[in-house]
Chain A
Amino acid sequence: NAGVMQNPRHLVRRRGQEARLRCSPMKGHSHVYWYRQLPEEGLKFMVYLQKENIIDESGMPKERFSAEFPKEGPSILRIQQVVRGDSAAYFCASSPPGTSRQYFGPGTRLTVT
């Protein structure tokens, strides 16, 4: 049973470009969470999604950030017009229904130049 998959593992973008981060949850998991880890800071919750629904986006910046979890395919975290402050490690976690256990992927390290 493969773990949570994230790609790419490393992403370099110039200021103003778009970044797309993908997350495939573990088999049988229908809940996806995105977290961000800024340099020298802890992990911070961004958004919680179930298939085709955003359940809690209280941690998402108001502008430029969006997330989706379509019926088919991976969850996508999209950052438009990236700025240097978006440079961070972005982690996705998945959870089976009925449990609070969250299993993390290896992360995508975004560098904005």
Chain B
Amino acid sequence: TQLLEQSPQFLSIQEGENLTVYCNSSSVFSSLQWYRQEPGEGPVLLVTVVTGGEVKKLKRLTFQFGDARKDSSLHITAAQPGDTGLYLCAGALGNTDKLIFGTGTRLQVFP
């Protein structure tokens, strides 16, 4: 069974702080995607990383794909209350690109 472990599971921080979320696996993925999910809604795609070592930036969010394509990180600079939510990493496997989802990180940013 392929597993994607995310850490930390929960994170409560003050507005303005920086944070990093980690996503680790023993499996090699063809690509890795980060999503954010609000209660009662579907996951919203933030980014897709494909190449080992790739770094992508989305405003205050920086995503990195590990060199071996087994792990990834999400770094948020100067977090804001609007960043509050559930962050999910998902690795694409094999020819079908079916996604294996991580265990999730629930972020709370207090004003």
> Which residues of A line the B interface, CB within 8 A?
4, 6, 33, 35, 42-45, 48, 55-56, 58-59, 91, 93, 95, 99-107, 109
Contacts and interface: CB of A to CB of B under 8 A. Distances in A.
Interface stretch (B12-20, B52-60, B99-107): B99-107
Q: Which label, helix, strand, loop or mixed, suits the secondary structure of the A interface?
A: strand
Contacts of A42: 88, 101-104
B104 A95 contact: no
B45 interface: yes
B33 interface: yes
A108 B97 CA distance: 22
Interface string B74-96: 00000000000000101010001
Contacts of B33: 100-102
Contacts of B42: 4, 6, 91, 104-107
A95 B97 contact: yes
Nearest to B48: A101
A35 B99 contact: yes
Given A33-B98, A43-B101, A56-B98, A100 B31 contact: yes
Contacts, number: 59
Interface of B: 30-31, 33, 35, 40-45, 48, 50, 88, 90, 92, 96-104
Given A42-B104, A43-B88, A103 B45 contact: yes
Contact of B92 (A58, A100, A104): A100
A102 B30 CA distance: 14
13 contacts: A33-B98, A33-B99, A35-B99, A42-B104, A43-B99, A48-B97, A48-B98, A91-B43, A100-B48, A104-B42, A104-B43, A104-B44, A109-B40
